[in-house]
Structure 1
Amino acid sequence: MARRALILVEGHPRANGLLFVQAAQRLGLHPITLSADPAQYDYIAAERLEAIRVDTDDLDVLIRECSRLRDTYEIAGITSATESFYATVGKLCRHFDLPGPNPASIERCCDKFIQRQLLAEAGVPIPAFRLAADATDVGGSAAEIGLPVIVKPAVGSGSRGVRLCRDVDELAEHTIYLFSGKHVWRSPPRILIEEFAQGPQYNLEVMANEVIGIAAADYGPPHFVCRGHIYPASLTDEECKRIADVSLSCLRALGLGWGPANIELRWTKRGPVVIEVNPRLAGSPVPQLVQLAYGVDLITEHIKLVIGDEWNLRKRRSHTAAARYLIPDWDGTLDWIDGGSAAISGVAEVKFYVEPKTPIIRNGDYRDLIGYVVASSPNLAQTEAILQHAVDLIDWSITPFPTVGEQGQHLAPRVAAPAQVAPGKR
């Protein structure tokens, strides 16, 4: 009998790539990663996993490779930990008659402007928005909506290219950045200008049509890099119901009745307003947080759905789980980072993405995170205390890059950098 394989289209160096592999192995599956560059995923070599170099942007090439693999394996399912390949996954699943997402729905959802249009047509509360193709359009759209506005690429993820523009100078600066070639576009340049919906942010994890968890999320302007999550959010039953109802209406409007979704919204003066619908699982450590808080293993249950097995989203636990993300304050060379200890009671994980001598270059997106701490306990106050204690034990030192003088000569930093400490110690 042929060995059952799970095909993963690309992985993820930071988010859920390794977690998908480990979950597949626990289910008795043989994970095979198809990637344009398997070497970018350290865990593939470390775990001695099977990976095949292939052009993952070419659907026909992927179909041929999967057809070849069927000569050796029973392909139980095909999926991806990366949003940009999720529509491709849907097309592969349809070609091979496997369970999977609707690729047309995924493509519509991943275009933030089309997503906004569909949500507006369905009466879902969203911020005012406009689409711009050039700098003139950006200025005119911002004037119509009224400053401050959020300016971001119409296609993208991980907060890349996103900025809160509070005045005309910030608007002009960010517009120049987006059109200057410094931002890497995945599609022809189109910019979304949105009303700044103000209020506390909540993120939801949904599988099929079931809301599994609602988190309080901390996103810091102007670039909205996430600084922390708490599951569950401190909400009344009525507030949870309103948020869940709005979120499920998003799925209906976008045709996302299959598989996972991550929904971001803010509670404003007019109630919950949807910021974004992501047709995928949220990145690590969100799946870990959901498992700690509710006892639901999102990745394992997702893979069960992918391979057509019976899944179980029943909550088995009622704890509070929280994460704090480690974000540097300046660019430079990391001298050292230490102090993280998962030995503290209640600390579930301490993760560093960087090693000494790594250049730290902040981009204003998810790549700015250099690590995180996750803690869990039966209640919020205890979890927050454990998390703060763990964060207080972490510090690092970053030596700023030398500045460049007018004649091109390298100058010493104007201010010596002290040991830079994690957010909880500031």
Structure 2
Amino acid sequence: MTKRALIMVGGSRGNGPLHIQAAQRLGLHPITLAADPTQYDYLAANGIQANRIDTDNLDALIHECSRLRTTYDIAGITGFAGLDESIPATVGKLCQHFGLPGPNPASVERCCDKFIQRQRLAAAGVPIPAYRLAANATEVESSAAEIGLPVVVKPAMGCGSSGVRLCRDADELAEHTTYLLGGKHVWRSSPRILVEEFAQGPLYVANLMGNEVIGITAYEYGPPPHFVVRECICPAPLIDDDHQRIADVSLSCLRALGLGWGPSNVDFRWTKRGPVVIEVNPRLGVGEPILIRLAHGVDLVTEHIKLVIGQEWDLRKRHPQTVGWRSLLPDRDGILDWIDGDCRAAAVPGVVDVKFYIEPKTPILRKGDVRDSMGYVIAVSPSLAQSKAILQRAVDLISWSITPFPTSGES
């Protein structure tokens, strides 16, 4: 009998392993197509078929999928954005080409361009920060002057907080503009920079499947000027009215952007004027499926794959729990001498997972984005206070040492 295959474009150290496991539970043969499969260690560790392919080349992907169809029954195609925001739209185009269930590629493409997304949300009356589009340093400076410092400066395309920075004064603005335009940031097309008002207040992320809000997570960032997630709590501690306001605005976002097929997530800041939309992402959030499964009993990855292969999903919530997640963030650049305490932390009652992404002797070079995390700890209990206490107890048992890189002049 011909194996039913699930094609996965790109990879993700967070959601990738979850998709592999869910696909296999559903009786599917997972196949990864990636520009560099070796950067995803879970593929080799699990003996997953991985083919090297240019994921920017739609024709090459179509050709490879057509070749695979001579051996496998391709049940569905999905993928991961990683730091490449174009992959979700590419997946939509592949699904369309092969007549498989998938998102509308045009809607996804528009959504992944943050400037076009902002325009559509503004036209629909969705509350968003003030924003401007800039292509050079002069336009960045004038945009910031119009909006008023502090501002958030980011590439118009991208994800994982790559290239995103809070600029609190003229010096920080000039420094980050030079970074983005001076050759250090990798642009996939002509540089387009979004300069926007810094919406201040607690951060929340709404997770949706189709047109249903499944859960809302509260986020906390590490120190500015970067936006690196330090801690999450799911479900977010919100009163019913505030939860409903976020849910209502989330659905308004989907209507404005032509989304509503499969997973999406919406980032909010709760400001003086209520929930303000920071970003809409037409995909599963990294790490969010674990939080939602533990907090609500809904396996977003499995239910998404069911949709991808044309099966009926089940989004019923099965239990209420409070989940705490803490990222292990380095405090300096250098060489990681050692990191330990994972076994002690995992033994704390209520801790459900401890993971280190890196090993000793690894160079640590902070980028100010999602790649900075060295690992995480997850705790679960019936209450917010208990989960936070368990999480802190576990994190306190983990320690590491980083030897700074030699400064210039040192031998």
Q: Same fold (TM over 0.5)?
A: yes
Residues 31 and 49, structure 2, Cα contact 8 Å, conserved in 1:
yes
Displacement after TM superposition at 1:53 (Å): 1.8
In structure 1, the residue matched to 2:303 is 301
**Unpaired runs of 5+ in structure 1?**
412-426
User: Which blocks of at least 5 consecutive residues in structure 2 are unaligned?
Assistant: none
Partner of 2:268: 265
Alignment partners' CA distance in 2, 1:331 and 1:11 = 26
Tell me how far apart the structure 2 counterparts of residues 365 and 46 of structure 1 sit (CA, whole Å): 26
Percent of counterpart pairs with the same letter?
Answer: 72
| Counterpart position of 2:324 | 322
- CA deviations on 1:261-303 (whole Å, 9 max, x unpaired) are 111001101110000011110112x211111100011100100
- CA deviation string 1:59-94 (max 9, x = no partner): 111111111111111110000122431111100100
Query: Which of 204, 213, 216 in structure 2 is aligned with 1:214?
Result: 216
Q: What's 1:398 paired with?
A: 402
Give the structure 2 partner of residue 108 of structure 1. Answer: 110
Q: TM-score with structure 2 length normalisation?
A: 0.97
Partner of 2:391: 387
The Cα shift of 1:343 comes to: 2.2
Deviation at 1:395, TM superposition (A): 0.5
Question: Deviation of residue 35 (structure 1)?
Answer: 1.6
- The 4+ residue runs of structure 1 with deviation greater than 2 A are 81-84
Q: Whole-Å Cα distance in 2 between the matches of residues 8 and 164 of structure 1?
A: 34
User: Structure 1 CA distance, aligned partners of 2:335 and 2:61?
Assistant: 39
Residue 359 (structure 1) aligned with residue 363 (structure 2): yes
- One-letter amino acid matched to 2:376: Y
> Is the 2:165–2:227 contact (alpha carbons within 8 Å) kept by the matching residues of 1?
yes
The corresponding residue for 1:228 is 231
Q: CA RMSD in A?
A: 1.0
Tell me the distance in 1 between the aligned counterparts of 2:34 and 2:381: 38
Quote the Cα distance in structure 1 between the aligned partners of 2:234 and 2:268. Answer: 15
Q: Helix, strand or coil: the match of 2:61? A: helix
Shift in Å, 1:39: 1.6
The amino acid of 1:7's aligned partner reads I
SS at match of 2:92: helix
Q: CA deviation at 1:37?
A: 1.8
Q: Is the 8 A contact 1:124 1:249 kept in 2?
A: yes
Code of the aligned partner of 1:175: T
> Which of 64, 86, 92 pairs up with 1:90?
92
1:167 to 166, 169, 175: 169
Distance 1:110 1:22 in 2: 28
How far is the alpha carbon of 1:186 from its aligned partner?
2.1
Is the 1:328–1:370 contact (alpha carbons within 8 Å) kept by the matching residues of 2?
A: yes
Deviates more, 1:247-256 or 1:335-344: 335-344
In structure 2, the residue matched to 1:3 is 3
- Between the aligned partners of 1:183 and 1:58, the Cα distance in structure 2 is 22
CA distance in 2, matches of 1:374, 1:134: 42
- Tell me, what secondary structure is at the counterpart of 1:403? coil
Amino acid of the structure 1 residue aligned with 2:177? T
Indicate conservation of the 8 Å contact 1:155/1:187, yes or no. no
The one-letter amino acid of 1:256's match is L
Q: Partner letter of residue 240 of structure 1?
A: H
- Residue type at the aligned position of 1:158: G
Structure 2 match to 1:417: none
The more displaced of 295-304 and 41-50 is 41-50
Question: Quick one: which amino acid aligns to residue 28 of structure 1?
Answer: G
> SS at 2:360's partner residue?
coil
Q: Secondary structure at the match of 2:323?
A: strand
Question: Whole-Å Cα distance in 1 between the matches of residues 133 and 93 of structure 2?
Answer: 28
Provide the C-alpha distance between the structure 2 equivalents of 1:163 and 1:37, rounded to a whole number of angstroms.
28
What is the SS of the residue equivalent to 2:346?
coil
Aligned equivalents of 2:144, 2:14: Cα separation in 1: 34
Partner in structure 2 of residue 125 of structure 1: 127
Number of aligned positions between the proteins: 405
Q: Is residue 65 of structure 2 the alignment partner of residue 66 of structure 1?
A: yes
For residue 246 of structure 1, what is the aligned residue in structure 2? 249
Partner SS, residue 404 of structure 1? coil
Equivalence for 2:206: 204
Q: Following the alignment from structure 1 to structure 2, what is the Cα–Cα distance between the partners of residues 352 and 125?
A: 38
Q: 1:267 is matched by which residue type in structure 2? A: W
TM-score normalized with structure 1 length: 0.94
